[in-house]
Amino acid sequence: MASITSEIASSSSLPKWEYDVFLSFRGEDTRNNFTDHLYAALDRKGISTFKDDERLEKGTTISTELLNAIEKSKFAIIVLSRNYATSSWCLDELVKIVECKEKAGLGVLPVFYGVDPSDVRKQTGSFAEAFAKHELMKNEEKLQSRRAALTQVANLSGWDTRNEKESTIIEEIVRKLIDGLHYSHSVREDLVGIQSRVEEMKNLYLSMGLNDVHFIGIWGMGGIGKTTIAQILYDRICYRFAGSSFLENVRERSQNDGLVSLQKQLLSDVLFEKNIDISNVQRGINLIRNRLCHKRVLVILDDVDQPKQLEALVGKQSWFGRGSVIIIITRNQHLLITHEVVEEKIYKPEILNFDEALKLFSLKAFKQDNPLKGYEVLSKEFVYYAQGLPLALKVLGSFMFRRNLDAWESVLGRLKETPKRDIMDVLQISFDGLETTEKQIFLDIACFFKGMTKDRVANVLRTPHYKPIIEIDVLVEKYLIIISNGTLWMHDLIQELGKEIVRRESPDEPGERSRLWLKQDILRVLKDNEGTKKVEGIFINTPSKEEDLNIEEKVEDLNIEEKVEDLNAETFSEMRNLRLLKICKVGLPQGLNSLSSDLRLMDWHECPLKFMPKNFSPDKLVELIMPRSLIKQLWEGNWSLEWLRIIDLRDSRELIMILDFARVPNLEKLILKGCTNLSTIHASLGDLKHLILLDLNNCKCLKSLPDKISWESLEIFNLSGCSKLKKFPEIVGNMSRLLELYLDETAIEDLPSSMEQLTGLIKLDLTNCEKLSSLPRVIFSLASLSTLTLSGCSKLHKMQENLGNLKGLKELDMSGTGLCSLTRLNIRNCNLQAVPSDIGCLSSLEELDLSGNNFVFIPESINQLSKLRKFWVENCKSLQLLPELQLMSSFIQVWANGCTSLESLLPVKMKEEDSSCSLYLLNCFQFVENQGPCDLFTRMLREYFQELFYRESTIKGRFEVVIPGSEVPNWFRHQSVGASINLEVLPYLFKQFRGIALCAVFGPHQHRRHYHRDYVLLSCYFKANGKGFRFIPFVCFSEIDRVESDRRWFMYLVPDCFIKIYASTEFLHQIADGSSCQLEIEFKPFDPSVMEIKKCGAHVIYEEEMEDLIHSLGQRERGSSIIPNNEVVDHFEEDIKIKRSRDDENGGSSTHIPPPKTKRVRPSNGE
């Protein structure tokens, strides 16, 4: 058999692939369980996976798309399940996978999901049945190729779910794949000298204990490769942790976006959650500390320069679980020392040696490891000037690419003119070689746009004739900028070069420079009217979200605003070429006479203007951003604003009128949140085809919207807090791109049925819609909806009971609704990530089905559902804990079959006299493994005995449990192999009867046929002296074909329940006559050809042995092997026989079961 390691190794020769993994599986068998969990695990680790979901599987012929996906994948994982071979689609996938394995080295990893590899190899068992049907198509060649493919795959080493836990198998698969993929993802040709440094860092990490939290520093000068080393190390070790996060450019991002944005990313990365709500830095600190304190995580912070960044993100070791590693990259060694990073945990990368430097330079200049012939000497001289710094070598090498010898000598001559040139002079050589337009864009990015998206910058800098995409690409090729996840970045040294070039334009007169970014320079130019036609851009960076800052940060970062500077009306009159303007909070007591008609970006926070200057021509404007302004109305006139993409007037409370939107046909974002005086919006708004974001949050006077909307590009629509808005518009046409719709705290009374057009909707918020009385049925057919919030909808009295069509549902909030009369709620298979914490408000609920969801725990408020009788949590694969069930209703059934992560279950509390409980835990293997020698039934039995014995309880119900296991516990007095057991009950012994415990071990029949039912049905029959019987049925809804091993059915019948069973038989009469009774108990499956009873047991409980049982079962819970002493019962029976004659004299027997005569004092140790 080929090894898994060799499968991974053999795939290394593959050409460049599009997908890391292709998943082949039978949807009906594993889509909603193993395959779904495997896919999620791969996705969390960044492994690109092609999963052929349901929408592709149509017909019997495999699609070209799937065949191409297999060819473009590096690995294929085949989940071979019972019905895999019944699908022609799956078999054709398999044939293609084997073909690619042989021809292209595709790595193949098989998983045998509940099937014997020999059945796959030989096509026996269920695979034989499948091929019997395929033979009807009479295509022998295809049949043979399918059989050969199955045989070949079955001969590979893989994983067998019958022998290992699914979670363990998934972890192993992910680890194997990362081992096989990491070198391909992280090793690039230009990473010269990096590998040895990464190994040094890796050895530093591996030398540390795995039980401690480690803070590690990487310290060195700019451009030496600190971030690159950390990125590669991250790729290689991240899979070893429960979660990981690489926070790039912490210094830059904390200045521009605030620390909260970094906290959100950290938690989102580590917890695999989106839309994490953090209102301020302190809240973020609390969340990080509380949610990560038990997780083993890897966190890397890149370019840290302030203590407050560390304090907000990785404050203390106690914030993280044991074995966590926190790596801090900085140029400031003192920062590491003050954060208690010890000297031996600080890594200091060395500059490249001469050979490494020459190789890196050659890769950039010649695209090969060594210089071309004739360039050897010149190359070595360039390397000398780069001083072993990787950044300088890359920039110089990229600049010299494809230049002739004359150019090389010319550039080298310039370097030699000033022998003591620093690194800035070396980097400027590359800038000087740019075209004029490229230089201008480079300077714009260096001074203003670092950290912005490429698309946004290209839009802002566009002209009527072109969009500067090519120029940006040239800057990337010259290694002057980097594009990461669509965002423009540049190294700090290169950014400083750009700013220095602008300073040199006029060292002493900032008004003569093209770009201004320093606050003191900007204030001088604006206040003293020093601006000239040379000024093209003015930028004062302000934090993007005020709530992201602590009070201390506001004082430090916004001190320019402590005093509002008054400007005169002619401030901008001489700046006729001004293209980019970003300022905030200045006074204009005389108004403003003019603005440049070349403006593309106008970002003016708290603008004091009520109206735009009359001579301002905005036809080149791309973004208009004026939050908290005093503007009443935008410009008048018929300007064509076809370039305008963004209008942001949030919190402009004086705004009463907005423009005719027909003049802005390409508008993408309209933000009017907090415009509290805006009452109407032009009807033309409904026709904007390119609108992506519409935010009208808290427009309290807004009464109406366009009657019809057709926003085919809209993704987010926010009407939160529009308290006077009563009607939601009709949706005309396709709006499938809408992802989030916020209607909370509006006066909307109903929703149109046209909401069925919102097929891509993920989030719908209807919080506190107090006039909403019903929801259209189409809401519950939105398969993509993951978050539905109905809290505070006090008039909402009715709702569809079955939410099963909401396949994507993850969050549901129904607190404060009028749904108190709801009796049934089905949220099965909705991918719910969390059960609403206040689900207890549904006070009339009798049946609750949460099966097939992804939540980890169930809130304790479920105990407020006093009428709950049936509760399903089957196949909730992530569920770890069931809460304590306080049985207020007389009877409850709990189905938790298939909860493979379930670790514990708190005791069931039987409060009422007639309380009864049934717990079904088929396939909950983790639960059985964790509880050790104590099983759930034992715990419940002991709890019941304590209630009865120490508190004189009169509980009359019954309880039963179904859990994995193949043995009758040895404390059961009567045991038998097979399905029946006999025992003798004496009449005087029956007077002390307190109940009977039963156990049946059942499992699949060895030669069972395919079972067409989706439930297991067992019954328990009782006979007294061969006459009269009653049966107690056990019905467990489950996928019987998944029941591959034995299970145990435990039941405990209390006396009153036992009497009810025999009320119509001669049983009690026989005891009353003083006759002994032979009691026969028999367990029967509904279909003996599918399920069989293998063993059974019974134990009659008498009052006199109860205290001994409590003690013995307590020892059992603590791990002791002590079992109840059966001699207690033997001696008790002898005492009964001796006393029998005495009782006869006093009137015989009675069918009444007396309670215990004296109240016991409960021991102090809890027993």
- 908 backbone φψ class: left, alpha, beta (φ>0; ψ -120 to 50): beta
202 and 288, same domain (yes or no): yes
How far, in Å, are 36, 122, 769, 885 from residue 1099 at the CA level? 43, 47, 58, 26
- The pLDDT of residue 556: 34
Q: In residues, how long is the chain?
A: 1167
**pLDDT above 70: residue 1125:** no
pLDDT given at position 879: 86
What pLDDT score does 554 carry? 35
The values of phi and psi at residue 24, to 5°, are -115, 125
Q: Quick check: is 129 in a domain?
A: yes
Does residue 70 register a pLDDT over 50?
A: yes
Burial of 986 (0-12, 13-18, 19+ CB in 10 A): middle
Overall average pLDDT of the 672-681 stretch? 93
The confidence band for 51, taking pLDDT boundaries of 50, 70 and 90, is confident
Task: Assess whether 1070 and 1002 both reside in one domain.
Answer: yes
Q: What is the pLDDT of residue 482?
A: 86
pLDDT in tens, 243-297: 889 999 899 888 888 899 999 999 988 887 777 889 899 999 999 998 898 888 9
Buried b (16+ CB within 10 A) or exposed e, 89-105: bbbbbbbbbbbbbeebb
On whether both 709 and 759 belong to a single domain, the answer is yes
Q: Is the pLDDT of residue 1088 over 70?
A: yes
Q: What percent of the chain has pLDDT over 70?
A: 78
Look up residue 323 and give its two tokens: 């074995």
**Is 421 a domain residue?**
yes
What lies within 8 Å, CB to CB, of 1032 at 6+ separation is 1019, 1020, 1051, 1053, 1061
Please indicate, yes or no, whether residues 207 and 172 belong to a single structural domain of this protein.
no
Q: What is the pLDDT of residue 950?
A: 57
Task: Report the CATH number that the domain containing residue 266 is assigned in CATH.
Answer: 3.40.50.300
In whole angstroms, what is the distance from residue 897 CA to residue 761 CA?
A: 32
Residue pair 681/717 in contact (Cβ under 8 Å)? The answer is: no
pLDDT, tens digit, 9 for 90 and up, residues 568-616: 888 999 999 999 999 988 888 888 888 999 999 999 999 999 988 888 8
Among candidate residues 310, 325, 347, the one where a domain is terminated = 347
Cα separation of 933 and 926, whole Å?
A: 14
The pLDDT of residue 987 = 64
Both tokens of 16, joined, read 């460049």
What is the pLDDT, as a whole number, of residue 175? 79
pLDDT band (50, 70, 90) for residue 498: very high
Which has the higher per-residue pLDDT, 385 or 912?
Answer: 385
The pLDDT, as a whole number, for residue 600 is 95
Last residue of a domain, one of 777, 796, 815: 796
Q: Tell me if 697 is assigned to some domain.
A: yes
State the pLDDT confidence band at 1162, using cuts at 50, 70 and 90.
very low
Computed over every residue of the chain, the mean pLDDT equals 80
> Cα dihedral angle (316, 318, 320, 326), rounded to 10 degrees?
40
Domain assignment of residue 1163, yes or no? no
Q: Are residues 482 and 557 in the same domain?
A: no
In a domain, 264, yes or no: yes
Range ranked top by mean pLDDT from 403-417, 604-618, 883-897, 1078-1092 = 604-618
* Catalytic member of 7, 71, 93, 1082: 93
Instruction: Read off the pLDDT of residues 92-146 as tens digits, 9 standing for 90 and up.
Output: 899 999 999 888 888 899 999 989 998 898 888 888 888 877 765 667 788 888 8
> What is the average per-residue pLDDT within 1060-1072?
51
Any domain includes 1099 = yes
Give the pLDDT score at 144.
87
Residue 794 CB coordination number (10 Å): 16
Q: Confirm whether 239 is domain-assigned.
A: yes
**Whole-number pLDDT of residue 906:** 61
Q: Domain of 671: which CATH number?
A: 3.80.10.10
- Confidence check: pLDDT of 206 > 80: no
Strands 19-25 and 870-872: unpaired
**Res. 929 pLDDT band, cuts 50 70 90:** low
Active-site residue flag, 93: yes
The residue among 1056 and 1102 whose pLDDT is bigger is: 1102
In which band, very low, low, confident or very high, does the pLDDT at 15 lie, cut at 50, 70 and 90? very low
Per the domain annotation, does 208 fall within a domain? Answer: yes
Identity of the highest mean pLDDT range in 578-587, 900-909, 946-955:
578-587
Helix axes 936-950, 1103-1117, angle to 10 degrees: 140
At 1135 the pLDDT is: 44
Of the residues 505, 525, 550, which one is the last residue of a structural domain?
A: 505
Q: Buried b vs exposed e over 461-476: b needs ≥16 C-beta within 10 Å? A: bbeeeeebeebbebbe
pLDDT number for residue 111: 94
| Confidence label for 1147 from pLDDT (cuts 50, 70 and 90) | very low
35 shares its domain with 168: yes
The tokens for 94 are: 């398999």
Looking at the structure, do residues 237 and 371 belong to the same domain, yes or no? no
Read off the pLDDT of each residue in 1104-1115 and give the average, rounded to a whole number.
68
Same domain, 484 and 574: no
Q: How far apart are CA 1005 and CA 1084, in angstroms?
A: 13
Shared domain check, 1110 and 1035 = yes
Look at the chain and report how many structural domains it folds into.
Answer: 7
Residue pair 1093/999 in contact by the 8 Å Cβ criterion: no
Cβ proximity of 1116 and 909 under 8 Å = no
- Domain span at 1043: 932-1145
Report residue 808's pLDDT band, with 50, 70 and 90 as the boundaries: low
Pair 1010, 1111 in one domain: yes
Residue 1038 has pLDDT above 70, yes or no: no
Residue 825's pLDDT band, with cuts at 50, 70 and 90, is confident
* Span 315-370, pLDDT tens digits: 999 999 988 999 999 988 889 988 988 888 898 888 888 998 999 999 999 999 99
The pLDDT-based confidence of 888 (bands split at 50, 70, 90) is very low
| pLDDT confidence bin for 419, thresholds 50/70/90 | low
In whole angstroms, give the CA distance from residue 865 to residue 575: 70
| Per-residue pLDDT at 675 | 95
The verdict on 239 and 335 lying in the same domain is yes
Percent above pLDDT 90 for the chain:
29
Q: What is the torsion angle, in degrees rounded to the nearest 10, for the CA atoms of residue 470, residue 472, residue 473 and residue 476? A: 160
The whole-number pLDDT of residue 933 equals: 43
Stated pTM of the model: 0.63
* Beta-sheet pairing, 787-789 with 811-813: parallel
pLDDT of residue 942: 73
Confidence of residue 633 (pLDDT cuts 50, 70, 90): confident
Residues 233 and 378 placed together within one structural domain of the fold: no
Calpha distance 315→521 (Å, rounded): 36
Q: Regarding predicted confidence, which is higher, 819 or 703?
A: 703
